[in-house]
Structure 1
């Protein structure tokens, strides 16, 4: 069976189209994240139109977490698909307010409504894309949640219309040959996201979190996209000297603790005997726990590993790397945010002893990807650097 993974140019974000099948006519398609608006307009849209014209569908649209660089393209996709349907989306996975917080039939007073509308009108952080493409007024329904309701999509129905989390369901069958194994988030990670929402509302002078108004969904999505921006650390200074691999390996590890990244939907896509690991921006501690449930003993060899959080060192611990390995690693970023991928991440991936040749794929050429294009290192540690920065942006398994 042919499997293709298209890693679109999503700037510092993620957008992956996975297609598989015995024949062109019988192909199945999954879309994980949509990058920015221009990711959709310039690259993704034409492929989705082609899928629709072929009579096929998107089996799943998985929006891993609320972050502009993962979901802004989905807003444009859903808006246009709602206006004139060009592709069938059978199921959407997306966690928002209505899935995390208790909903009651309560009337929102004017003060509460004013605060929610203020958050919604703020929109998404305006960066990494053309201003005109991102500014879609709130009155038109700018959030993913609003557009999913408008388009009457099947939304989290694999999880009984509740939150996507491992306690709710850990395995979803696409067909007898294909399963998705959920690794993240769990309820604890989602509780942290809920607490962030409540704390932020208090900062705005609001002390409420109950209600089933769509305003809550929209405000939740907008507010958390800005929280992620605040959480981004100042880019590290690139050293004037070339560090040795030994120095990179000695860098102390500190796990990412942002609530938004911790809420990421991470999963294994198993197609027959092929296993693909998509880590979104997930925290490594939870991923290790979930992988032990999936296979307790030994290292799990995947056919592909999409590295978490654009290669951030805070999202790939030694414990995680002891549990996973692959001949193919995929890192999605243009390096413009936080100087990702971190050199420490790549050093830890490539220096482990291996019986096979590791190929590291990047969808952009970055300073830190080029840093590892050293013939002596590649020969000693049995790895190579590859780029998907030109059409067709595709890996084939």
Structure 2
């Protein structure tokens, strides 16, 4: 059994992955979503588990954006959760490439690093406590967890990780990780929900023709992205990674296996379906028909129409779009006219609910 739940994490990611025995599965948590995600969704889910089942094989904090790390800080700071990860993957300041001329030091008291150091979890242990990074040559890092889940690292590259260093202090403060600064409240992140204009139905063909420009944000480029495999199933967990890096990793993986395109059972869209992180080249580099969108559309109005249109036109035969919220931004894709014309399906949470679970036997 392999089960992925996209918790209702606001405009962020909080992915709860279970595998193995359905009655007593092993678990991996990827990101904690926004600060508000923790009390609203993550803590109740943890507290619903018996204490002995709150041991997770791995906790991955993919990068330092607030919509991924905010809930992660709340989780590790709260003893009520009883959360006990065997290992944590997170690239802190100490993991950024060092230069002889470095003068910048880590922000004093950077919260997540402090919390990891206080925990009993192994920090980047699978990488000899060094950076979680894809080497420029040789095989891609491949880690097998207890119970048989295999994770193949696709991002970040050393170059993408290094590009974060000059911006580290500013980005840490922006993410609310400096205790000297009040962290942004979720109410500040909801403006996007009030800004929706009277857009008409999506013009899929015109949207696909729009030129592609890749995301250049250093925090997104530093994302830990990976391929998760269990009993023949493959999930692409993209975080907010840059599409050229994901494609290069998948191409490299295909070359190693001499299989050409990588076959996927599902792809979690990078950066919540941003048009700058879903490139035509990336979509053409793998075989997949299930696409997962994790966002409520707040703040950035994701998913972008261009990204969804690219998935519909380039994402394989009869692609299935799966959203963990129904919002003003994704509801137009539930149009029967569009679904029949372009041969795709769209799945949303039941009325009045948030979050979505996908399971493979």
Check whether TM > 0.5: yes
Q: 1:52, 1:86 within 8 Å by CA — same for their partners in 2?
A: no
Structure with more helix by fraction: 1
Instruction: Tell me the equivalent position of 1:92.
Output: 88
Q: Distance in 2 between matches of 1:379 and 1:223?
A: 43
Matched, 1:270 2:229: yes
Instruction: Tell me the equivalent position of 2:149.
Output: 178
Q: TM-score, normalised by structure 1?
A: 0.77
Higher mean C-alpha deviation, range 13-22 or range 370-379 = 370-379
Residue in structure 2 matching 1:324, options 275, 282, 286: 286
Aligned length: 338
Matched, 1:190 2:161: yes
The secondary structure found in structure 2 opposite 1:351 is helix
Q: Distance in 2 between matches of 1:85 and 1:335?
A: 28
Q: 1:176 to 1:85 in 2, by over 3 A?
A: closer
Q: TM-score, normalised by structure 2?
A: 0.84
Residue in structure 2 matching 1:312, options 266, 274, 278: 274
Superposed displacement of residue 158, structure 1: 0.8
Instruction: Tell me the equivalent position of 1:37.
Output: 35
Unaligned runs of 5+ in 1: 121-140, 201-219
Q: 2:153, 2:224 within 8 Å by CA — same for their partners in 1?
A: yes
Q: 1:73 to 1:176 in 2, by over 3 A?
A: closer
The secondary structure found in structure 1 opposite 2:145 is strand
Q: Distance in 1 between matches of 2:288 and 2:88?
A: 28
Superposed displacement of residue 308, structure 1: 0.4
Instruction: Tell me the equivalent position of 1:58.
Output: 56
Superposed displacement of residue 91, structure 1: 0.3
Residue in structure 1 matching 2:322, options 350, 353, 361: 361
Q: Distance in 2 between matches of 1:190 and 1:326?
A: 28
Matched, 1:67 2:65: yes
Higher mean C-alpha deviation, range 95-104 or range 66-75 = 95-104
Q: 1:376 to 1:78 in 2, by over 3 A?
A: same
Superposed displacement of residue 190, structure 1: 0.8
Q: 1:185, 1:263 within 8 Å by CA — same for their partners in 2?
A: yes
- 1:1-397 matches, within 5 Å, as 2-25=1-24, 27-51=25-49, 53-55=51-53, 57-81=55-79, 86-102=82-98, 143-167=111-135, 170-175=141-146, 177-197=148-168, 221-222=172-173, 240-296=199-255, 297-352=259-314, 354-355=316-317, 357-388=318-349, 390=353, 393-397=356-360
Unaligned runs of 5+ in 2: 178-183
Q: Distance in 1 between matches of 2:202 and 2:232?
A: 40
What RMSD, in angstroms, separates the aligned Cα atoms of the two structures?
A: 3.0
The secondary structure found in structure 2 opposite 1:372 is helix
The secondary structure found in structure 2 opposite 1:313 is coil
Q: 1:74 to 1:371 in 2, by over 3 A?
A: same
Q: 1:181 to 1:52 in 2, by over 3 A?
A: farther
The secondary structure found in structure 1 opposite 2:276 is helix
Superposed displacement of residue 305, structure 1: 0.8
Q: Distance in 1 between matches of 2:315 and 2:159?
A: 34
Q: Distance in 2 between matches of 1:79 and 1:142?
A: 13
Q: Distance in 1 between matches of 2:315 and 2:54?
A: 42
Q: 1:75, 1:142 within 8 Å by CA — same for their partners in 2?
A: no
Q: 1:241 to 1:56 in 2, by over 3 A?
A: closer
Q: 1:240 to 1:304 in 2, by over 3 A?
A: closer
Q: 1:354 to 1:142 in 2, by over 3 A?
A: closer
Superposed displacement of residue 10, structure 1: 0.9
Higher mean C-alpha deviation, range 243-252 or range 259-268 = 243-252
Q: Deviations over 1:206-245 (max 9, x none)?
A: xxxxxxxxxxxxxx7335669xx9xx9x979857444522
The secondary structure found in structure 2 opposite 1:66 is coil
Q: 1:55 to 1:13 in 2, by over 3 A?
A: closer
Superposed displacement of residue 148, structure 1: 0.8
Q: 1:85 to 1:39 in 2, by over 3 A?
A: closer
Q: Distance in 1 between matches of 2:46 and 2:327?
A: 28
